Amino acid sequence: MRLFCILLFTLFIFGVQCKFTDSSSESFEHRFDSSSSIEDDDDIKCPKSTFLLDVDNKCHPCSICGPDLYELEECTPESDTVCDWCFSPTPTKNNDFKLKCGDVDLKSIFRIVVKAQRDEAIGDDSYEIFAAEEALAAKEAKRWAVAANVAKFGFYFLLIILIVIVIRYVRKSKQAYRTITLTPPMLNEHDSKDIIRAADHIRQKLGKKGYDRLEEFV
């Protein structure tokens, strides 16, 4: 009986040792597999136009900057493309900026900025103030446009009046300096004798000196 108990105890000890050995072997294999997978992850090299994402340790295509965006930082195997807005207050004027943002339309910028401000102001009390300021600016611009049209009409009206005055002045000047040619009337012999007789009668009354003075006066 004692021998039988010793035999059972020996078998129990041997079984515990075998189980511990198996668990240690499995733990070592698991650690080895983990380290191997880590080493494999470290050895991943992504091809061109892709980058390694840390979340899943897989290569993904590089992002492409859309409209009104330029590449602030190029894509590398370790990081994705970094894009920036063409209308940024402090842009980095690299080659991609000059290529994509060089021909930016100012009107488009104004519309985009105004739309962005309006979208940000929606749901806020400042939206009403912004709308009022926009209406006031539009009213002021309309007023200036009307004033410009009135000034233009007045300028052309004064120009027409000045031209008419100059034309009338030139015409009057021509009339003032016009040469008039008068042809003396044709007298018959009887009329000529009457004029000579009247002249002799005046000469007799005035005398020779007085008549000479009268001729000078006439």
Is there a domain that residue 192 lies in?
no
In a domain, 161, yes or no: no
Question: Is residue 210 pLDDT above 80, yes or no?
Answer: no
CATH number at residue 68: 2.10.50
Residues 12, 35: one domain?
A: yes
Residues 36 and 52 in one domain: no
Helix (H) or strand (E) holding 96: helix 95-101
Report the 10 Å Cβ neighbour count for 79.
13
User: If pLDDT is split at 50, 70 and 90, which confidence band does 190 have?
Assistant: confident
Residues 81 and 59 in one domain: yes
Helix (H, G, I), strand (E, B) or coil at 64: coil
The answer on pLDDT for 92 being more than 60 is yes
CA-closest candidate to residue 67, choices 92, 99, 100: 100
Q: Is residue 204 part of a domain?
A: no
Kindly report which listed range (25-39, 144-158, 177-191) carries the lowest average pLDDT score.
Answer: 25-39
Same structural domain, 84 and 65: yes
User: Dmax of the chain from CA atoms?
Assistant: 209
On whether both 58 and 73 belong to a single domain, the answer is yes
Is position 215 within any domain?
no
pLDDT score of 202 more than 50? yes
Does 184 map to a domain?
no
Q: How confident is the model at residue 98 (pLDDT cuts 50, 70, 90)?
A: confident
Clarify whether residues 38 and 52 are in a common domain. no
91 plus 51 within the same structural domain:
yes
Read off the pLDDT band of 87 (50, 70, 90): confident
> Average pLDDT, stretch 44-59?
88
Say whether pLDDT at 159 is over 90. yes
pLDDT at 157: 92
Q: Is residue 163 part of a domain?
A: no
Average pLDDT over residues 107-129: 64
Q: Which residue has the higher pLDDT, 160 or 140?
A: 160
Same domain, 1 and 36: yes
Least confident of 23-27, 32-36, 38-42, 132-136: 32-36
Give the per-residue pLDDT at 29.
Answer: 47
Scan for tokens 């993904």, then name that residue: 60
Higher pLDDT, 93 or 201: 93
Q: Centre a 10 Å sphere on the Cβ of residue 70 and count the other Cβ atoms it contains.
A: 22
In-domain check, residue 174? no
Residues 3 and 33 in one domain: yes
Angstrom distance (rounded) from CA 77 to CA 100: 24
Q: Do residue 74 and residue 61 come from a single domain? A: yes
Range of the structural domain that residue 58 is part of: 45-102
- The answer to whether residue 111 sits within a structural domain is yes
Residue 77 and residue 115 share a domain: no
Work out the average pLDDT over 75-103. Answer: 87
pLDDT tens per residue across span 119-158: 766 555 555 566 677 777 788 888 888 888 899 999 999 9
Within this chain, do residues 93 and 52 fall inside the same structural domain, yes or no?
A: yes
Domains contained in the chain, number: 3
211: which residues sit within 8 A by CB, 6+ positions away?
202, 203
